[in-house]
Amino acid sequence: MRLTSRKRIYHASSLILCYNSSMIKYISHQTALEFWRKRHAVNTLATQRMQNAVLNLEIPDLNALYTDNPWGLTLPLHVLVSNDNARKVNQYLRCHISSVELPSYSFVKIDPELIVSSPELCFVQMADELDKIELIRLGIELCGSYYLTGEEITEKSFDNAPPLTSVTRLSTYVARATGLRGRKKSAAALRYIVDGSASPMETVMVMRLTLPYGLGGYSLPVPILNHPIYLPGRTKPLYIADECWPSEKLILEYNSKEFHASSPEQVARDEIRRNALTAMGYQVIVITNEHMRNTVLLDRTVIEVSRILGKRQVYPNGFAQRQARLRRQLMPWL
């Protein structure tokens, strides 16, 4: 997904003291998502979630928002207002009316004058902006341990960060968000969202493998992402599996990053680890970039994975076209 980008002004926290308006601003939708994709954003979640917040905005509340923008957010800014009388639309602002009662903890207080839609509310708000595939990807991103470092989602456009939310939090919020636009679409997307993705490529891989045939995926059972595997009696994990089906003792590893190293010492450590996993009964299947590019190679690997999981692949008519469309949408850089 590409956020609307017209102009960037100021830089994050260095100018907060210069913001003189006494009115509280409610940032929402794409602007809230941009905020949550910043490195420092997760630090605000521990103590700043608001149990209750009442929208009471007037037009003057918004006049200075786009000129005094100390948070470095992209214009136009998306904001919440309480009614048509407070609505103001120009090239700098996009106002969204919110007249329904919102669940508790819908907002996060960033500073005395800035309140942002929580990751959960932002997810529901973005349901109106994104198609189903992009909404699922966003949900996995919000529940994952990474944040995007650029406007374009690519294989390398990310860095590590704690999760902003979880599938449980999203599900609980969506269930309570009665009357909110985007709720129905959010609930449908939640069926395919998982915790624990550590990169955009892991998100792409789990979506391509587990989304239903109708969306272009292989409809495999959902694995546990970044699952720690321990030797008996040890407290430190032997291995962190990219995707794991523990009951079937199956590990799917992207790009073989754990089993292919250049130094002899690392090769030896990997061999010991591989032998230990084998002794514990695990099978490890590797997927590389070439598999993700080449449908024939990926099909062969999925058939092997399906055999181990006890699932038979029966592709419906039109599946190849839907599969290609999903690959193009999720991996436009290939």
Pairwise CA distance, residues 116 & 41, whole Å: 11
Other C-beta atoms closer than 10 Å to the C-beta of 311 total 15
Let me know whether 212 and 324 are in one domain.
Answer: yes
The answer for residues whose C-beta is within 8 angstroms of residue 17's C-beta and 6 or more apart is none
Residue 148 CB neighbour total at 10 angstroms: 20
Q: What is the CATH number of the domain that holds 205?
A: 3.40.960
204 and 118 in a common domain: no
pTM as predicted: 0.85
Domain check: are 112 and 215 in the same one?
Answer: no
List, for residues 56-88, the tens digit of each pLDDT value. 555 445 556 656 666 778 888 888 877 665 555
What is the token pair recorded at 137? 């990807």
Residues 206 and 322 in one domain: yes
130-139, 154-163, 189-198, 249-258, range with the lowest pLDDT: 249-258
| Same-domain check for residues 114 and 234 | no
Percent residues over pLDDT 70 in the chain: 78
30 within domain boundaries: yes
Residue 140 maps to a domain = no
Question: pLDDT value at position 289?
Answer: 87
Least confident of 49-58, 100-109, 251-260: 49-58
> Could you tell me the CA-to-CA distances from 39 to 1, 43, 68, 195 in Å, in that order?
18, 9, 22, 19
Structure tokens at 69: 């923008």
Predicted confidence at residue 110, as pLDDT, reads 83
Q: Which of 122, 154, 173 is the last residue of a domain?
A: 122
The candidate with the shortest Cα–Cα distance to 250, out of 287, 212, 218, is 287
Q: Single out the residue in 96, 122, 148 at which a domain terminates.
A: 122
Range of the domain at 14: 7-122
Residue 156 lies in a domain: no
Residue 324 located in a structural domain: yes
Is 267 domain-assigned? Answer: yes
* Residue where one domain finishes, among candidates 104, 122, 140: 122
Task: Give bridge partners of residue 227 from the DSSP assignment.
Answer: 241
Kindly report, residue by residue over 149-173, the tens digit of the pLDDT.
Answer: 876 666 667 889 999 999 999 999 9
Is 181 among the domain residues?
A: no
Task: Examine residue 192 and state whether it is found in any structural domain, yes or no.
Answer: no
Backbone angles phi, psi at 96, to 5 degrees: -120, 125
The count of domains in the chain is 2
Asked, for residue 161, whether it belongs to a domain, the answer is no
108 within 8 A of 44, measured Cβ to Cβ:
yes
Residue 113 has pLDDT above 90, yes or no: no
What is 224-278 written as a DSSP string?
EEEEEE--TT-SS-SEEEEEEEGGGTEEEEETTTTT--SSHHHHHHHHHHHHHHH
